[in-house]
Amino acid sequence: MSTNQQLFDRAKISIPGGVNSPVRAFRAVGGTPRFITRAQGAYMWDAEGTRYIDYIGSWGPMILGHGHPAVLDAVRKAIEEGFSFGAPTEREIELAEEILSLVPSCEQIRLVSSGTEAGMSAIRLARGATGRSKIIKFEGCYHGHADALLVKAGSGLATFGHPTSAGVPAEVVQHTLVLEYNNVEQIEEAFRTQGSEIACVMIEPIAGNMNFVRSSVPFVKRIRELCDQHGALFVFDEVMSGFRVALGSAQSLYAELIPGFRPDLSVFGKVIGGGMPLAAFGGPRRIMEQLAPLGPVYQAGTLSGNPVATACGLATLREIKKPGFFEALSERTAQLAHGLQAAAQAAGVPLVSECQGGMFGFFFASELPQNYNVVMATDKERFNRFFHGMLDRGVYLAPALYEAGFVSAAHTADDIDATLAAARDVLAQL
């Protein structure tokens, strides 16, 4: 039987770095990536037959756990009917209707195949609809790997960002302004000096790409006001938080705290595909109708709205809509997040945790970070030792300190207890 190391060595010959997405290579934590052979419920098994309690859930989509019977049935049926037609299907309407019924800010939605594609298309739409070029994003938020978004902050507020990837020309990011997350003064200053040129502000409302950092309510409220005053669009990237932190996504949580709050455009992925390549972006009809074939903003996809992916996403959404689903998931997730913090406290290790719905984060720090620089200043060595200690005990956490974790409906109280027992063991040696 192949070992993980043998497979990794072999993979590196035919695939750059041995992986098809960089974080899978374990570069941040070191060691050998696990090659997964199968998954069921809350567990995954690697090539050596080792079982792990899975807290990645394919980086978010597997909210029901792996191999949920209703999803399997829907996918099997869809496969029998055909893999892809390149023509419209009723199932696309059903999925669109399902998403719209749960997210009141969206009157129309377009389906695509990845979060990157959805985010990139939402920006094009925002630029097309406003006739402006500049966009604002925040340090530490990830919106996919489109050129204009691979950018880090420039030296001052007035300067536009620098590419973070080779192959992205400086001219391509010259319209992208990168600001500090949760910094109200910076965004006020940006709008004061450049407000009439800004097409949109894009944000991860609960940033899972810096582990778990919430945008503060005053911050979101102020961005909403500034966008309204200056005619810019507010884009919520809910690829990770969508249908994961609450049935109505993160925007429903902010709408509870800010009367009348809605983003202009929303970007979804992960959960809406239930583990298949599917993502979407949506908003009010007057903006969405700017898209081809109705309007001048071009956007298309051979596999967009794929019939197997839509069947998988639809079956997933129908499960998470069931009464009590989010209450139970939230309780389980809180049991884990609070349990980790309590275990660390007992061991005298500074650790803080956060969670919402089925998403959680924890930091080796004494206070919850509010922005990227603070996240990256938390104790990396300790995180890496903790990660490997947990992995050795059969618990698969995200392999980088800036990534969120995910609990599924398949995680039982016993799984959480086993995870916390492993954590106590590891924390005692940190």
Ligand X SMILES: Cc1ncc(COP(=O)(O)O)c(C=O)c1O
Q: From the candidates 46, 54, 237, 415, which is the catalytic residue?
A: 237
204 near ligand X (CB under 6 A): yes
Q: Is 264 a catalytic residue?
A: no
Pick between residue 98 and residue 403 the one whose CB is nearest to ligand X. 403
Token digits of residue 225: 């006001």
Q: Determine contact, residues 277/310, Cβ cutoff 8 Å.
A: no
Pairing status of strand 134-138 against strand 176-179: parallel
Size of the site for ligand X (CB under 6 A): 16
143 near ligand X (CB under 6 A): yes
Pairing status of strand 213-214 against strand 206-207: antiparallel
255 vs 250: CA distance, rounded Å: 9
151 near ligand X (CB under 6 A): no
182 vs 372: CA distance, rounded Å: 10
211 near ligand X (CB under 6 A): no
116 near ligand X (CB under 6 A): yes
131, 260, 264, 279 from 115: Cα distances, Å: 24, 27, 18, 5
144 near ligand X (CB under 6 A): yes
110 near ligand X (CB under 6 A): no
310 near ligand X (CB under 6 A): no
Q: Is 379 a catalytic residue?
A: no
Q: Determine contact, residues 277/306, Cβ cutoff 8 Å.
A: yes
Which residue in the set 8, 142, 281, 387 belongs to the binding site for ligand X (CB under 6 A)?
142
240 near ligand X (CB under 6 A): yes
Amino acid identity of residue 323, one-letter, is P
Which residue in the set 33, 61, 115, 305 belongs to the binding site for ligand X (CB under 6 A)?
115
Could you say which residues in the range 34-63 bind ligand X, by CB under 6 A? 59
CB of 396 to ligand X, least distance (A): 17
CA dihedral 234, 237, 243, 249 (to 10 degrees): -30
The stretch among 140-148, 174-182, 213-221, 376-384 that binds ligand X (CB under 6 A) is: 140-148
Identify the CA nearest to 103 among candidates 254, 322, 259.
254
Q: Is 298 a catalytic residue?
A: no
CB of 306 to ligand X, least distance (A): 14
Q: From the candidates 43, 52, 55, 142, which is the catalytic residue?
A: 142
Q: Determine contact, residues 93/322, Cβ cutoff 8 Å.
A: no
Token digits of residue 44: 């995954």
196 vs 117: CA distance, rounded Å: 27
Pick between residue 119 and residue 399 the one whose CB is nearest to ligand X. 119
Pairing status of strand 233-238 against strand 198-203: parallel
Pick between residue 219 and residue 281 the one whose CB is nearest to ligand X. 281
DSSP 8-state secondary structure symbol assigned to residue 210: G
Site string for ligand X, 245-264 (x = CB under 6 A): --------------------
What are the two backbone dihedrals, phi and then psi, of residue 396, each rounded to the nearest 5 degrees?
-100, 100
Pick between residue 29 and residue 240 the one whose CB is nearest to ligand X. 240
Pick between residue 144 and residue 161 the one whose CB is nearest to ligand X. 144
Instruction: Write the DSSP assignment of 48-71 as a string of letters.
Output: T--EEEESSGGGTT-TT-BT-HHH
The stretch among 5-13, 204-212, 376-384, 406-414 that binds ligand X (CB under 6 A) is: 204-212
242 near ligand X (CB under 6 A): no
Q: Determine contact, residues 254/219, Cβ cutoff 8 Å.
A: no
Q: Which residues are catalytic?
A: 142, 237, 270
Note the residues at the interface with ligand X (CB under 6 A). Answer: 59, 114-116, 119, 142-144, 204, 208-209, 237, 239-240, 269, 279
